[in-house]
Structure 1
Amino acid sequence: MIPPPGTGAFLNAHGWGGAAVRPLAGDASFRRYFRVVLADRTAVLMDAPPDKEDSRPFLAIAGHLNGLGFAAPQALAADLDQGLILLEDFGDARVAPVLAHDASGEAEIYAAAVDLLAALHQHPPGDTAPYTPAEYLREARLFPDWYLPAVGLTEAPGYTEAWAPLWPALFTHPPVLVLRDYHADNLMLLGRPGLQQLGLLDFQDALAGHPAYDLASLLQDIRRIVSPALEAAMIARYIAARPGLDEAAFRTAYAILAAQRNIKILGVFTRLYVRDGKAAYPRFHPRLWELVSANLAHPALAPVRAWFDAHVPAEARRGVAVGVAVPAQ
């Protein structure tokens, strides 16, 4: 992976001239990441092409989180015209690979992640756009817009209407900052005390919404299986940390948001394959369907479950086959 044009001049201008620039793992966006090494100093260079990525929300949310005492990467330098940002380096101890190597600390790490959410949700969301019913629906519609054509189906009537009675349950709690991709691949072990023991990544799409969203994102992880027992224990831990919470309303919202998120991701991962040529993503479809099947069993999801039962047969729930030509949108 070659660093973007202008990297050398950017680093020279900010005191990192002559540094080595090494590629790091990226994410599902157009952003790319590099580690910058100069003597005993390191930083992370984020390349976010300005014609494809707006980095201003990332910087704003990072500042908000750091101001509240949480650990988001500090911006060391930025050139938004080029889409280059130099960030504090959180190291390599991402929670997912750490637990893949040694799962003995799983319960402790997830407890810390849940406690972080409970602490974050004590604060107002700041100057963050709201998660609206229109946005929840737009996301849910990624399933019929992308997944269904990829498995040879057309959308049957009633999909939008099936979701409509569920949205009010997501507005029974004052809005909190929803990071939207809060899971083991976006959490770093920093070895710091208190709220900064976990470093936060990939929060630039944050919105103000229901507190159950990020909990569902953490505990119904697509890439890393969280056992039902651990999921139940961590939901109970979160509820215990928020004594004023309406538990029944929270659990209903959790079920709805878990379903909405997983159904959305079926569409997102199909789009990444069909439109962007990223062949790795269909391998997650079987795991997603396991989660969706469990999600739809909740009584609150009855209208959506009825639509799926009527219009998405079992053979269409096996995922998109890699290498099969599918219609681009």
Structure 2
Amino acid sequence: MITRHLADEAETRRFGEDVALALRPGDCLALVGDLGAGKSTFARSVIRTIAGDPALEVPSPTFTLVQDYELSLPIAHFDLYRIADPDELDELGLDEMLARGACLVEWPERAAGRLPAGSVTLTLMHAGAGRNLTIDGTGPAMDRIARTLELRDFLRRHGLEAATRRPLGGDASARGYNYVDLASGETRILMDSPRAKPGPILREGKYYQQLAHIAEDVVPFVAISGYLRRQGFRAPDVLAADLDQGILLLEDLGTGSILDAGGAPIEGRYADVARTLALLHAAPLEENLPVPDSLVHAVPPFDRAAMQIEVSLLTDWFLPWKTGGGARAEDATEFTAIWDDLIDTIADGEQHLLLRDVHSPNIIWQSAPDLSDRVGLLDFQDAMIGPTAYDVASLVQDARVTIPGDMGERLLDVYLDARRDDHSFDAERFRRDYAIMAAQRNCKLLGIWVRLNQRDGKPGYMRHMPRTLAYLDAATAHPVLAPLRDWLVRTGILGSESDR
């Protein structure tokens, strides 16, 4: 149970904003309180926040019994005061709405226990000029509401109690982001990244995050951001942090994209990112990065264990999905052996800091005279030290956007041209490593798309599957990848030359 005092109507509206950001399909909030206790104020704030429209007309459902809103999260506002029998809930469509969205239910006591398990009850009671709030429930919705209130408490501790929060979105991980609008008109970014929970033990007594060196808290983000900024790159400044709770207040780098309004790549902007990567890979490398509170982040290596656990996603998730059964043991063993040889091959290649996901969602582009001001870098908490070709491959074969093959070749040439004056740089060896890293990344992505769909309930990522297969096909055309290509053809993942 959580209790709060809401001093006035403005705090009640802010509470509605906070809860709106925590809601997911299937959530049901039961609103309890006398007339005038603030139930409607809260409900309007929730609906307007989800709509992104603070002026949205939100009529009371007192006479209609239910008002539906087809928003990014569909939501229904019920008022059960006038129902005569709980069975009327079937006619009102409560279950249908919960199957695709969230519900706010005033006078829930009239439902006579018909609300779903996992509902959260919010009780509002008059208390002077304000109201006292009690939140009661169990399950995921209650956990998310508790977390969103922790985020508000974080803002309060940093003097931003009255700031407005609105949706920004998340990513394929458990991280979430909000815009924070200040009274001055400035905007900040609130990063919500709770400490990762250990997964099942896979190999060597370690779980996936440990084997793949995935960040389990926000310390790496703070460390890498500091390094990038010290080297003159545009990364968000960390303005406030709670490292234990995994909450960061970040500089807002803006919204400019390297894609056009239709979602197509803008080649000149991608070229700017390629030049930025060339500068990064020529910058002094720091392996132990300072973090506030006298901490140090040791940047992990993109080593054999990390590469192998990533590509194993193909045999663990993609291949069973494609064939309708598990991967044959001999196929998985051969796949691992092929990658062991490829990892040995790149051992003599260039090593530097890898940001790991240098593609369109993680780049902010702004018009500016200087390259360092044009390209903003995001989402680098999983950075490692490994083959520099990896980040170039993640850009040139953007996982979210189709980069035509001829454009990809030109972007690769932009990077190579930018490294031309570096006499220690071997362009041919880099092209070899680029092909291997592109293949490694796309093998991983094929498994990730299926895992996101089957385990995490995020089917939207499956739309990237054809692009990823096409990228893998292109990467494995390099002679060094002939054994991998033969394996991919034999297992039916790629077509043979005669099918092309």
Q: 1:69, 1:195 within 8 Å by CA — same for their partners in 2?
A: yes
In the other structure, the counterpart of 2:235 is 72
Cα 1:293–1:35, aligned 2, differ >3 Å: closer, same or farther?
same
In structure 2, stretches of 5+ residues that fail to align are 1-20, 23-146, 198-215, 288-298, 496-500
Matches of residues 81-160 of structure 1 in structure 2 within 5 Å? 81-96=244-259, 99-101=260-262, 106-127=266-287, 128-151=299-322, 152-156=324-328, 157=330, 158-160=334-336
Any idea what SS the aligned residue of 2:364 has? strand
Residue 30 (1) aligns with residue 174 (2): yes
Q: CA deviation at 1:85?
A: 0.8
- Using the size of structure 1 for normalisation, the TM-score is 0.89
Q: Which residue of 2 aligns with 1:282?
A: 462
- How far apart are 1:45 and its partner, in Å? 0.4
* TM-score normalised by structure 2 residue count: 0.60
| Deviation for aligned residue 1:44 | 0.4
- 1:139 is matched by which residue type in structure 2? E
Q: Distance in 1 between matches of 2:493 and 2:382?
A: 33
Q: Which runs of 4+ in 1 moved over 4 A?
A: none
Name the structure 1 match of 2:381: 204
Deviation at 1:299, TM superposition (A): 1.1
Q: Distance in 2 between matches of 1:183 and 1:68?
A: 21
Quote the Cα distance in structure 2 between the aligned partners of 1:125 and 1:271.
Answer: 34
2:186 to 29, 38, 41: 41
Partner of 2:451: 271
Mapped to 1, the partners of 2:319 and 2:159 lie a distance apart of: 51
Inter-CA distance 149–109: structure 2 relative to 1 (3 Å threshold): same
- Who is 2:54 aligned against? none
What's the offset of the Cα at 1:153?
A: 3.5
Matched, 1:306 2:486: yes
SS in 2 for 1:280: helix
Q: Secondary structure at the match of 2:224?
A: helix
Shift of 1:134: 2.1
Q: Is the 8 A contact 2:349 2:433 kept in 1?
A: no
Bigger strand share? 2
Alpha-carbon contact 1:178-1:208 (below 8 Å) kept: yes
Asked whether 1:9 is paired with 2:153, we answer yes
SS in 1 for 2:165: strand
Residues 128-185 of structure 1: per-residue CA shift (max 9 Å, x gap): 2111122111111110011122231332321111222211332223411101100111
Larger deviation, residues 235-244 vs 58-67:
235-244
For residues 242-282 of structure 1, the C-alpha deviation after alignment (integer angstroms, 9 at most, x for no partner) is 12321211111111111110111001111111111111111
Q: Which has the higher contact order (CA 8 A, sep 6+)?
A: 1
Paired amino acid for 1:54: D
- What secondary structure sits across from 1:5 in the alignment? helix
* Aligned length in residues: 312
Corresponding residue number in structure 1 for 2:435: 255
Matches within 5 A, 1:47-62: 47-52=192-197, 53-62=216-225
Partner amino acid, structure 2, of 1:120 = L
Q: Quick one: which of 235, 246, 269 aligns to 2:426?
A: 246
**What RMSD, in angstroms, separates the aligned Cα atoms of the two structures?**
1.9
Distance (whole Å) between structure 2 residues aligned to residue 280 and residue 225 of structure 1: 16
Confirm or deny: 8 A CA contact 1:169 1:249 kept in the other structure: no
Q: Secondary structure of 1:110's partner? A: helix
Deviation (angstroms), 1:295: 1.9
- For the structure 1 residues 142 and 180, does the alpha-carbon distance in structure 2 shift closer, same or farther, using more than 3 Å as the test? same
Point out the structure with max Rg over C-alpha: 2
